[in-house]
Structure 1
């Protein structure tokens, strides 16, 4: 069978491939089709289109051919993937029926849609994958989790869900820059993938939050083993911007259907367990337990109320006396935050202060505390002009210290209340150096230069050393309350307190003993050269009016 010369010239000029075929057997193909299908020249008598297709497309093609012959008045369209080239080629084939010499044949045009497919894939990938790490994003994660829960329900199996949050990620961004933060996220993604099977899903929800789906999972050893591997991977130092950086991770784990039988509750449970890991010291994993749910609800309600704690006037300062051990007279007072909740009553500072730090409210609360403490100190000093050395002591979180280094907040507060700098003592912890040492040192040095006293709080409870004392521009060191009560009858505690005193004095720092409960402890500190002491022996923290009545009158 042949085609006319004019018809052949016409179809050879078309931009699309054209194939004339008897069912699957090629009778004629124009130049474009020859190139697409990589057909030999001259064309053998038994070459078929299906030989050039991948297995899935081959079945679709043969079905379309049969359907077109059975319904000649309706053109069939089918997308095909060629397997003849190194780079995948996608074509859109449009079939029609052609009668030649009373024989029904098929005429198919083939248009290369590879670029369109690549563009569709780019759009699909952008919609489902995180651009930075190439991990599945939140949308794809939720879709896969839904599918795994359905499958687990049918197969009566379990699914483990993990939430992972990086510890100190904000510090990396603030200190080394966003480039280093992005590199940390990319490297974290690679390390997480090392911990999982091919059937698992590792996704990035956003920020420094990652999640893992472990299908066909029992609560037993495997989920725990994976969580432990994640912790181990994240605690291994990262190399960012030419520096070795140490971070860690907090992991929350929950199991379907043991802990929850629906997606929303499962997500909440994983987040709750992750939060428990963070609050219990970080660099750890925790499995969800039912008691966490009640705690999460209470915490959510407390967080909501915390946002208005300053504007509602629910905060107050209590004051604990600080005595001069040389004169046995009142030297100053430490201002301590108290929150009286409208329905819960007194909320422990050990609960609401870490929560305020986490949700970004500690700056506002600290600023309020500084203002109120300085205002009260001014009132007392004016009422007792002879108390020229009386000072007020206020605790600063390390987060707030970094923020204060960028402005004149503390000098402005002192000026506002007409309070001399030496009347204010700021208590800091050694953790101030763990995140942004340069900015913290600049701010502390400036405060020291204008006359504000700086005390290192809780000395001896962390990784305190002589190098810490030497590096911080502090004027005093507070011996933690956990050591003082034992110093009377515990030889090791007594040696430790004596060592701290000697270290402080060698650097010309004042020493302040906390937690003094009786006269024997006071005399011990005094005999070892401590300058100041505070504790229940002198008085418990109390409201301003009571403090004035008990100690200033």
Structure 2
């Protein structure tokens, strides 16, 4: 008897333990299902107003929550605000009309305590009598409040209450509420980001609709691509989410409806062994139950025989009947005869398994080429999905019992592993987010000063070991950013900074680094450079991009960017020196007129006076003189042509060509005045020195309407027409207006000689050589250097030489070290080079002071 009692006691103990385990797994299952549903809702709902009802519906499956509300902290007003409210007794008007101050009530009490609180019966009133909080609204029999946290900071309270005494909250239900609150803030952020993304998509869509017709066509094509991609996504989901083949057919029908007319649709499967057609799915106005039939000569069989999509209208149907390719098994009335029929084969790797067909009666719809292409496009994907489901269905039927036993045994293990995996994934995401937040700007998402300096330190150390791998730092300050904040508000200023950061990111390579130092200051680290021109190209793109005005609320503000550049050098020992020099160059660019870039020069930090820095961009105050360079051949024989260039004595940059100095002009009128004076003086010196042919660089400003008349008056002498060739910068001609191009052609008609200067500096525009009749072409030193370093540029050079040979244009190479490479350049087909510079031997212009007196 004692053994029997002991055995019963042992069995009872085991039974209690099993019940506890079952309860534990049941609770775990509820938690898991609730979290999965919450994740699905956060991934699917379009806005926050839909998220809270979805959460409420999830909770009602596990917790008494007919009365449920969510209160969140408004970070701007620092008050608790009602985000969602559902109550059995109090309507939404109660908390709104009574002007609830939630911080004073029991909700605020939970918010202050920061922990879950559960009141039963009269406990809430007793706590209110003690002065802990005020009772707002109808008192509940059971009330539970759970704080909502985001990154260890409480942001709100989730509340469930019951007016039924018998309907209390268990520990497991309270635990479920606490777990839901842990993931609520994450779900809210995901929905907010989706709302922001959808808002940005709408804004961009509205902007695209205002573009020209060409852009609209491109947008329509892009929409078609996205639509097709969305269709592929839907079909792919069928392969993984839909369990039953009948659901697949229904979903396929819905997909076809979204792309074309599919009121009448059927899917046929072909069994090659039996030679029969089966119709597992059919929706038709006149024939809802299509029976299996042997292979015959119908429209469906035509698709299967040809293995191609067939588009059949009334006219083609008559031709097919007359030719005997198609036969009708029995006479049918015109009412029941399809007036437009479209069928596509379902092709797989094993061959054609059937077809999908749409048809229209009584001319309700006429299928066209777009329908033909779309159904052909989706039929291949649908065939793969159907093949997979048919195979899975057959396999499932043969192994159904075995799968059932395996599923039961592995169910508990899968659930446990899934829960652990979710915890691990969530922890990883939290750790990654913490690291990201510590090293990135919260507004723009760009790397912050700390991360930039760390990367710059690594780059400097690498450069000290490998000096041939150059780098550059661009210090960018946005012009007139204060005007945007003042006129449009700080929120618009934030949007402007976000837009600027995205635009700047498109101006650099993937391995380059863009960071925000703070305010309106940005900095870029360019690595793996071969010359300074690459850094200059990036600065030009940024300045050109910032010329577009920023508009918001109907107000447009013109901004800009001043860029300071410092290039790597062995004297740099610390990152502070690099940032200091880039900042000094930026300051100089801002003083010189803004919306420009400047490289760092030692004189910028070597005691140059403030007056010199501020006045250095006044071009008419600089001393000017001329230098002449003869054009020679490979064997150093002098040609009749020579290059005449104007130089000025800049207080910071020293002796510098006018091509560089003209960007220091105070305005357009000043530049034009100085350039016309230089051209007049150049003509005098050319005639006095009796030079045969002189190439003189000038600006595209001279080709504008009024300026062109001044140019013609300056060069009205017939003799000077034969002696001088006007060189225009290739980049200016590339972006020249219609008036400028017309005046350039007028110069050619009047007998003037023209040429292109600094050709292919940033890209090779061969169409310019074809459209206009140039006499000379001066290659840029940057392009000449690239020809020697990269084979791809040699192909561009051969294209240039082929066109210039046909059009009889002389091609001349130039650069500071071009003579050192002339033997190598000869192998590429270049024959003419710029020789050494010297002053013109003229009694009227032999020194800088004489020219300076002329210009002043």
Band the TM-score falls in, shorter-chain normalisation: 0.3 to 0.5
Which structure has the larger Rg? 2
Relative contact order (C-alpha < 8 Å, sep 6+): which is higher?
1
